[in-house]
Structure 1
Amino acid sequence: MLLLAAMAVVVGSGGALGAWILLKMIAVATNLFWFGRLSAAPALITDSAVGLAVLVIPLIGSLIIGMMARYGSEKIRGHGIPEAIETILFGESRLSVKVALLKPLSAAVSIGSGGPFGAEGPIIMTGGAIGSLFAQCFHLSAAERKTLLVAGAAAGMTAIFGTPLAAILLAIEVLLFEWKPRSFVPVVVAVLVSFAWRPTLIGAGPMFATASAQPAGLWVLAAAAVIGLIVGLEAALLSTTLYRVEDLFHRLPVHWMWWPAIGAIFVGIGGLIDRHVLGSGYASIQTLLDGSLAMRVVLAILFVKAIVWLIALGSGTSGGILAPLLILGGATGCLLGHALPGDVGFWAMIGMAGIMSGAMRAPMTGALFAAELTGHFASLPATIASAGGAYAVSVLLMRRSILTEKIARRGRHILQEYTVDPLDFLQAGQLMTPHPDTLPGTMSISAASAFFADEAKHRSYPVVDADGRLLGLVSRTDALRWRVTDPEGDVSLAETLSDVSQPAAHPETPCGLIADMIIETGIGRVPIVDAGTGRVVGILSRQDLLKARSAHRQAETARSRFAKSI
């Protein structure tokens, strides 16, 4: 843990620098595509005056991305988070230098040319690549590489949005698939290092600071929960539609390299309808939270942005999903907020918390992200209500999240529900068979062979001395071997086992360690001995361990009524 925490200082700095480079690349691409100038200054697509060229610019950017994906690396396709999850779970957390370079470049071209995406997915992939590449320079395990990969991803997200708490929770809920000190502490270190760099590289304070006030009263929590339910339905609809669009692209009789260009045609049409649907939309998020957008623009963002985003993302181009989800959830909250007391900007924030929770199956991340993003920590109860409602709807309507569905379509099914291994809760004394049958050490090999041939009920038996202390373990396989190597069999079992090291455990030993012992030794039954006397008090088999898993599942699913008598 301490070693990884020290390495996380470097990874956190790399993630922050990668985020700064990505934002500068997006700014350069935006200036080149929409204003014809070479500049890294921030620029808004809505300020450009390109006329009908709005139909062509996204097409040019998508053609570039298609060629980068085909001739560079196919891993740059998509929004980055599913690819990071897949690398963690199935790729031993190894990302290549090519991905680290091409992913931010392709995302900059995509967003800069008008693609309706955010920078968060690409920076999660890029930050993860920085952590993975750094880890690959040392002799580390796959689990340790995973920790540094996730640390880099969380550091990148922190640098972009200035949301350290949400970045840590995203790491836990979406990327780590565990909550252990070995992974948690290094992620915290990387996130804090990135957050310390942020004022120098990107800027201080909340990314979308707003003056919207929260209405007073307990009814606010109920209203937030209702909005959460509604945006949860919206998240389920968006996820379902996205993968149906992706299926349609897979049916096209052209190479996938051309799919982003086909999707860009619809992006250009959407931009012709309303320029606000193009690009990352961070300015639109700010105006939604300020409550200053006209109703016409809010409706355009809600429907046109959704259509062009779904088509563009389904085409396999490069870009993130978080900013579009925030815009769509914020627009829904804004519309509903017109029928509720208080500032519509507050209800837009509630919609953002809910849709992130519902789409990504990350309720705590969604709740904290909205509060950190705006600096409205007093609104946490309301964002939690919204996130909880959206999460409930999502798990009832969708088998998988918008992130894991993409991986499942590649034949790799992922469960986003984390539980503690039941074997880590139980000790050997709780599962063992007490007072097992044993064989005396004075028994001869010939007698033991005859016993296994005629009387044995088990495949193996502990061998004990006169005081019941463990000498070893003999099995049916041993008896068959003795018939060949020592037909006379005058030697006793104690003499035969004197040079054999026998694995054993104590009643207090965690069953998880015994399961590891069985795998490592190949022995199906482990004797359990008293720690003080060495006497055999039980035996634990593979079947006993499987019974523990069955009992755990039974406790999860079996229902019964029980009233204790007074």
Structure 2
Amino acid sequence: MRYKYFKFIRNENLFIVLLAIVIGILSGLGAVGVRFLIRLFQELFFGGNGIALLEPLMSLPWWYKVIAPAIGGAIIGPIIYYFAREAKGHGVPEVMLATLLQGGKIRPRVAFIKAIVSAICIGSGGSVGREGPLVQIGASVGSSLGQLFKLTEKQVSTLVACGAASGIAAAFNAPIAGSLFAVEIILGDFGVAAFSPIVISSVMATLVSHYFEGDFAAFMVPPYKLVSAFELVPYTILGVLAGFVALGFIWVLYFSENAFENWEFPEWVKPALGGLSIGVMALWIPNLFGVGYETINEALHGSLALWFLLLLIPAKILATSITLGSGGSGGVFAPSLFLGASTGGVIGIIFHSLFPTMTADPGAYALVGMGAVVAGATQAPITAILIIFELTNNYHIIIPLMFSCIISTLITTNIKKESIYTQKLKFKGINLTEGREESILKAIPVSHVMTSPVTYFNYTVNLETICDVALKSPQHIFPVVDEEMNYRGFFSMGELKSVLFDKGDLANLVIAEDIIEGIESVPVEANVHEAMDTLSRNGLEEIPVVDGKKLAGLVAAKQILEIYQMELHKRELAMAVVSKKKFNDLTEGLYVGGGFRLDELPVL
């Protein structure tokens, strides 16, 4: 009776909601813990109170500023290399990959390792953010609970998204933005079934964060509003510029990653070398150390000079790219906010000096720029708008914010399909913009599906011979070849019947070459997605397969659909075995060919 009750609970949304509450609490505690560790390591490396960084840096000798991030890199390099290589980088692409292609499976140790190495990296001066690590930590918590209770692939993915949302919510005290981040970026699915537990997790994580750290504000934002309609002009320019800054950030980041990846040097040593580079840069620009919240706050209050803001943009892009490219651990969200504040500050200073009565203070542009660069880099404008809105609780800034964020997103999406998150996966040959169906079809080579040998005709064969053979064949099309089996084209059964009707007594003068109606084919090394695309584009049921110039076989749409269904069943069966769920809960049986069927029967 107890087992039946537990099974009932597991099969209902109630159990997912209960787990979402637990994930929110644990992720909130994780966020509090990571913030504590960052303050601890920052205090150990640089002194001060572990919060303000720029002031204690002023009293440190130059050589120490250079070696501090190198020491941090030397510590985290071996930890990442030997214990959890998933902890390298900014983490969100790994969560997306796990959610969409790996059934939400993330190793439990990732949460612990990510927390430690990210805190050391940031605390020692790494030019990265804490939000990405909080996303990966929360996602790891959600995945671990899902695997513990042996939930389905879809349920585990939902719990991973709950954890990711909790990380963002706890980082910014922004439960709405955290929820939208999970559905817009991690899941790409706005379904109510997934959205409800995600919201619950975000709220719980925010409550936990409030309980331990109070109703803190990530940034001290003065009240700003749209002064005049004229301001839409500079906000338009800001949106365009923010889009190009985001594109530059993405390009330099992954150029750096590829450069370090191709550098023949021990992987565990590279973070130390990257840290050394950051230390040298920080001798002249100490604002590059850490998450950069102090500098963002200065930009929001209009306290930074135009020349310095112009210097910060390329310097921050380079510093973050080196930190992550060399194998450091941290997020790209805070650097995107940093770049946005600097970019917006530049536009704000210029236009406010030219039109002081028609424009807001430069800080307003810094605030909008934060959202615009995040929107362009992530290609998730809704999340960017809501994060800035929740940070300010200022409805008056929403119009220019939406305006610039949408323009920035349009710039990046029209120039580059991949966001700062999906670009990393694209380099690995993984395209998350495709659906599950496309990923399955692209994984199957045509050679596994095609029929061979097939009925074909030499191009010199006469119509009478063709009719004798073709009318007995189940094929819909017939390839035509030369003496060396080089493919020349094909004709269909419909074309053959048409020729017989039209030619009458002259039909015997017709040879195979005369009735070729198409030359389309697919190479043997192609995948079935490409074959299906060629079939549908040409309105064919079958198409010849060629190996170079030679005929290799035929592939039919019916065969592709059958193999697709079989692959789906295989994946479901694999999940059943892995999760130890009952086979009959997932499928009504699997036909394995030869008249045999795989099923589960009760043992009496």
Q: TM-score, normalised by structure 1?
A: 0.72
Maintained 8 Å contact 1:267/1:312 = yes
Counterpart residue type for residue 413 of structure 2: V
Maintained 8 Å contact 1:131/1:151 = yes
- SS at structure 1 position matched to 2:114: helix
The structure-2 alpha-carbon separation of the partners of 1:224 and 1:232, relative to structure 1 and needing over 3 Å to count, comes to: same
* Distance apart, 1:416 and its partner CA: 7.9
Deviations 1:98-144 (A, max 9, x none): 21110010000000000011100000000111111112221311110
Q: Does 1:111 align with 2:115?
A: no
Counterpart residue type for residue 187 of structure 2: L
Q: Does 1:21 align with 2:39?
A: no
Between the aligned partners of 2:98 and 2:53, the Cα distance in structure 1 is 34
User: Map of 1:130-529 to 2, 5 A cutoff?
Assistant: 130-204=141-215, 206-340=217-351, 341-415=359-433, 519=565
Counterpart residue type for residue 32 of structure 2: W
Between the aligned partners of 2:328 and 2:246, the Cα distance in structure 1 is 21
* Distance apart, 1:205 and its partner CA: 5.1
- SS at structure 2 position matched to 1:192: helix
Between the aligned partners of 1:117 and 1:456, the Cα distance in structure 2 is 63
* Distance apart, 1:303 and its partner CA: 2.9
Q: Which residue of 2 aligns with 1:87?
A: 98
Q: Which residue of 2 aligns with 1:47?
A: 56
Maintained 8 Å contact 1:8/1:189 = yes
* Distance apart, 1:519 and its partner CA: 4.0
* Distance apart, 1:155 and its partner CA: 0.8
Between the aligned partners of 1:99 and 1:364, the Cα distance in structure 2 is 29
- SS at structure 1 position matched to 2:350: coil
Maintained 8 Å contact 2:224/2:396 = no
Between the aligned partners of 2:374 and 2:312, the Cα distance in structure 1 is 17
Counterpart residue type for residue 126 of structure 1: I
Counterpart residue type for residue 168 of structure 1: S
User: Map of 1:546-565 to 2, 5 A cutoff?
Assistant: none
Maintained 8 Å contact 1:169/1:365 = yes
* Distance apart, 1:216 and its partner CA: 2.0
Q: Which residue of 2 aligns with 1:425?
A: none
Counterpart residue type for residue 339 of structure 1: I
Indicate the percent of aligned positions where both proteins have the same amino acid: 29
Between the aligned partners of 1:519 and 1:389, the Cα distance in structure 2 is 42
Gaps of 5+ in 2: 1-12, 352-358, 438-470, 477-560, 569-604
From 8, 15, 18, the equivalent of 1:6 is 18
* Distance apart, 1:276 and its partner CA: 1.1
Between the aligned partners of 1:456 and 1:408, the Cα distance in structure 2 is 42
Maintained 8 Å contact 1:177/1:418 = no
Between the aligned partners of 1:378 and 1:300, the Cα distance in structure 2 is 30
Counterpart residue type for residue 56 of structure 2: D
* Distance apart, 1:243 and its partner CA: 1.5
- SS at structure 1 position matched to 2:283: helix
Gaps of 5+ in 1: 420-452, 459-514, 523-566
- SS at structure 2 position matched to 1:256: coil
Maintained 8 Å contact 2:239/2:405 = yes
Between the aligned partners of 1:521 and 1:319, the Cα distance in structure 2 is 37
Between the aligned partners of 2:25 and 2:329, the Cα distance in structure 1 is 24
Between the aligned partners of 1:318 and 1:521, the Cα distance in structure 2 is 37
Between the aligned partners of 2:274 and 2:107, the Cα distance in structure 1 is 28
Deviations 1:48-82 (A, max 9, x none): 32212000000000011111111111111000111
Maintained 8 Å contact 1:58/1:115 = yes
* Distance apart, 1:375 and its partner CA: 2.6
The structure-2 alpha-carbon separation of the partners of 1:455 and 1:28, relative to structure 1 and needing over 3 Å to count, comes to: closer
Q: Does 1:101 align with 2:112?
A: yes
Q: Does 1:126 align with 2:137?
A: yes
Maintained 8 Å contact 1:55/1:268 = yes
The structure-2 alpha-carbon separation of the partners of 1:258 and 1:218, relative to structure 1 and needing over 3 Å to count, comes to: same
In terms of mean alpha carbon deviation, does 311-320 or 45-54 score higher? 45-54
* Distance apart, 1:400 and its partner CA: 0.7
Between the aligned partners of 1:355 and 1:109, the Cα distance in structure 2 is 27
* Distance apart, 1:294 and its partner CA: 3.5
Between the aligned partners of 2:211 and 2:567, the Cα distance in structure 1 is 55
Counterpart residue type for residue 60 of structure 2: V
* Distance apart, 1:413 and its partner CA: 1.1
The structure-2 alpha-carbon separation of the partners of 1:3 and 1:276, relative to structure 1 and needing over 3 Å to count, comes to: same
Maintained 8 Å contact 1:232/1:354 = yes
Maintained 8 Å contact 2:92/2:135 = yes
* Distance apart, 1:304 and its partner CA: 2.1
The structure-2 alpha-carbon separation of the partners of 1:377 and 1:2, relative to structure 1 and needing over 3 Å to count, comes to: farther
Maintained 8 Å contact 1:79/1:320 = yes
- SS at structure 2 position matched to 1:338: helix
Maintained 8 Å contact 1:13/1:194 = yes
* Distance apart, 1:177 and its partner CA: 2.4
Maintained 8 Å contact 1:212/1:290 = no
- SS at structure 2 position matched to 1:79: coil
Maintained 8 Å contact 1:285/1:330 = yes
Q: Which residue of 2 aligns with 1:66?
A: 77
* Distance apart, 1:379 and its partner CA: 1.1
Residue-pair matches, total: 431
Maintained 8 Å contact 2:46/2:56 = no
Counterpart residue type for residue 373 of structure 1: L
Counterpart residue type for residue 391 of structure 1: T
Counterpart residue type for residue 378 of structure 2: M
* Distance apart, 1:187 and its partner CA: 0.1
Between the aligned partners of 2:306 and 2:404, the Cα distance in structure 1 is 23
The structure-2 alpha-carbon separation of the partners of 1:455 and 1:61, relative to structure 1 and needing over 3 Å to count, comes to: closer
Between the aligned partners of 1:359 and 1:331, the Cα distance in structure 2 is 15
The structure-2 alpha-carbon separation of the partners of 1:455 and 1:25, relative to structure 1 and needing over 3 Å to count, comes to: closer
Between the aligned partners of 1:307 and 1:521, the Cα distance in structure 2 is 44
- SS at structure 1 position matched to 2:377: helix
Maintained 8 Å contact 1:30/1:45 = no
Maintained 8 Å contact 1:206/1:375 = no
Maintained 8 Å contact 2:28/2:167 = yes
Maintained 8 Å contact 1:368/1:383 = no
Q: TM-score, normalised by structure 2?
A: 0.67
Between the aligned partners of 2:29 and 2:208, the Cα distance in structure 1 is 8
* Distance apart, 1:417 and its partner CA: 9.7
* Distance apart, 1:292 and its partner CA: 1.9
The structure-2 alpha-carbon separation of the partners of 1:185 and 1:269, relative to structure 1 and needing over 3 Å to count, comes to: same
Maintained 8 Å contact 1:212/1:345 = no
